[in-house]
Amino acid sequence: MLIPEHLEIIGSELAIRWSDQSEDYIPCERLRAWSPSAETTGERDLLGKKYGGSDQKTYPGVTVRGWRTIGGYAIQFEFSDGHNTGLYSYDYLKALCQQAAKG
């Protein structure tokens, strides 16, 4: 598993250096839009019915104000719009970076 060794905000992007020394850059707005939180994606009950979630797909001007490591598996970001409930597993974060690189 790749582990983020260094995170830094450069302009409007989050830069990540991974444990294999590769680097990724992801726009903060996109990172916010892809939050894995129940607030953003909703929650499903035992029968699969979805509750909540947001229809908002873009977050113009939103930046990352800070972050903290959760255990040895995830990062919790604090965004300028006050959102801070998504836990981005390292694997999910790497997949988002790869998706962002594709455009």
Taking alpha carbons only, the member of 59, 68, 67, 66 closest to residue 30 is 59
* Residue 50 pLDDT: 84
Number of domains in the chain: 1
pLDDT bucket at 81, cuts 50 / 70 / 90: very high
84 pLDDT above the threshold of 80? yes
Question: Can you list the pairs that 67-73 forms with residues at least 24 positions away whose Cβ atoms lie under 8 Å?
Answer: 67/7, 72/3
Indicate the pTM of the whole model: 0.90
* Residue 53 pLDDT: 81
CATH code for the domain in which residue 38 is found: 3.30.2020.30
Residue pLDDT, tens place only, 31-79: 999 999 988 888 888 988 888 888 788 899 999 999 999 999 999 999 9
- Domain range enclosing 98: 4-102
